[in-house]
Amino acid sequence: MKKQAHCFYSGRVQGVGFRFTAESLANKLGVCGWVKNLPDGRVEIVAQAEEAALKSFLKEIEQALSYYIRGVDVQWLNPSGDFKSFGVEF
């Protein structure tokens, strides 16, 4: 079953390749959505996929970038169906 996650990562998460790591992992796991930097220093991700792929995606982000992440806020939502791929928003 498809799920959607709306995530906010805090810590030293900008300027460390976070968005491009997320994009690479999403493409590897078949996750759609987007990632972007926020003016307050956090990184926001909206991601949609089958639940197992989405959980793997979020776990791999936390493992790959654990040195930089100090907090994660994840909200689970019903899929919106709006995404066809994963990209970096500027």
Q: Coil, strand, or helix at residue 20?
A: helix
Which of 12, 19, 42, 70 does the annotation list as catalytic?
19
Which of 12, 27, 37, 42 does the annotation list as catalytic?
37
* Dist CA 66 CA 63 (whole Å): 5
Residues with Cβ < 8 Å from 1, sequence gap 6 or more? 50, 51
| 27 classed as catalytic | no
| 42 classed as catalytic | no
Task: Enumerate the active-site residues.
Answer: 19, 37
